[in-house]
Amino acid sequence: MPKLNLIKWLQKSAVWGSALAATLGMLLLMLLLSGYFQKKVPMAERANDKSLPTNLQTATVSLVKVPRTESSVGTIRSANEVAVASKILAQVLEVRVKAGQAVKQGEILVRLDDADLTSRLRQAESAHQSALAQAEQAAADLDRANRLIGKQAITQAEYDQAVSVDRSMKAEVDRTSQAMEETKIQLEYATIRAPFNAVVIDKRIEAGDTATPGRVLVDLYEPDRMQLVAVVRESLAVKLKVGDTLPVELESLGYQCHAGITEIVPQAETSSRSFTVKVTGPCPEGVYSGMFGRLFIPLDDEEVTVVPVGAVKKVGQLTLVEVIHDGKLQRRSIQVGRLFQEGYEVLSGLKAGEVVVINLSGIES
């Protein structure tokens, strides 16, 4: 039995030894192929191996001051938006407009049933004509009374009665005249017209509906007087004043312009501690009420490190520059940010004062 156990142990040892030898051999081969046993050259030395070519164009990485702004979101609104409502109770006969339609001042928007008002107007006109006739008769009676009282042909009481009737008839003429004018005005309310040149935002009634006093029929806005209504945080709003000019951007139209502040609502929102600022400026075609816009408020200038555009070369995901360091070229990977007129903003990899090459096409990789 001891001899048999020894043989098994020797067999297992041989298997484990073979596996260990194979593993060590593979590890040695991998180290050999990776150049582990070869002499290494430091990265700095390899980067600086390039000697300076002739006729290099260079530039110095510089610090520049750029204006800093903060944007506030806003909404395009017309400076003149109205909700046209009915002033009378009547059935809607006709709606002549639809959303987005442009209308001229005085153009008919909605027609209401005016049969009842027309009848009332005729009654008022008849009452006025009757009052005129009675006033003429009263005036004639008063004129006759004036002649008779001088001859003492009538009593003073009869004369006073003629004067009173004349005054009453004149008052009745005035009352019926005003009633007639009032009915004419109410009759005009049956025809809803555009108060100015406008664009229809929406119509809220259809033919056959009943219009009641105060019910909105059509929403309108004046397209020639558009403004951006923005919400500006308190610390910035207190520095603004009416008449200031600020940059504005309409992202959906790709439009940028400068607009003047026309109004600052003198009350802050308690929840956001912000003020409502309204600006107006030149409006391009295609601007509609409710569109999104941005108002840019200038802050203090900031200093940024800038490298010329010609010094930057992009290779795949890398952004590279060639820096002259100790009389040799050193390729360096950098991170860039915003693009200014002077060049790219350097986020990392370069410092102000370093010299870079700007004709990278003439340098071998």
Instruction: State the CATH class of domain 44-68+302-362.
Output: mainly beta
- Give the separation between CA 311 and CA 320, rounded to whole angstroms: 8
- Give the separation between CA 283 and CA 11, rounded to whole angstroms: 93
Stated pTM of the model: 0.55
Q: Where are the domains of the chain?
A: 44-68+302-362, 71-78+225-298, 114-189
| Digitized pLDDT (tens) for each residue of the chain, 365 residues in all | 455 565 666 666 766 777 777 787 777 777 666 666 655 544 444 444 456 666 778 888 988 888 888 888 999 888 888 999 999 999 999 999 998 898 999 999 999 998 888 888 899 889 999 989 998 998 888 888 888 887 888 888 888 888 898 899 999 899 999 989 988 888 888 999 999 899 898 899 999 999 999 999 999 988 888 889 998 988 888 888 898 899 898 888 888 888 899 999 888 777 778 889 999 887 777 788 888 999 998 888 888 999 999 889 888 889 999 998 888 888 999 999 888 888 899 999 998 889 999 865 544 44
> What is 71-78+225-298's CATH topology?
Elongation Factor Tu (Ef-tu); domain 3 (2.40.30)
Strand-strand pairing, 226-233 and 216-221: unpaired
Alpha helix positions (H), the chain: 2-33, 43-47, 115-150, 156-188, 234-237
Residue keyed to tokens 């308690």: 270
Cβ–Cβ under 8 Å, residues 258 and 250: no
Task: Rounding to the nearest 10 degrees, give the CA dihedral for residues 205, 206, 207, 210.
Answer: -40
DSSP state of 269: B
Cβ–Cβ under 8 Å, residues 208 and 76: no
The CATH architecture annotation of domain 114-189 reads Orthogonal Bundle (1.10)
Which pair of tokens denotes residue 113?
């049933």
Which pair of tokens denotes residue 333?
């990977």
- Give the separation between CA 163 and CA 161, rounded to whole angstroms: 5
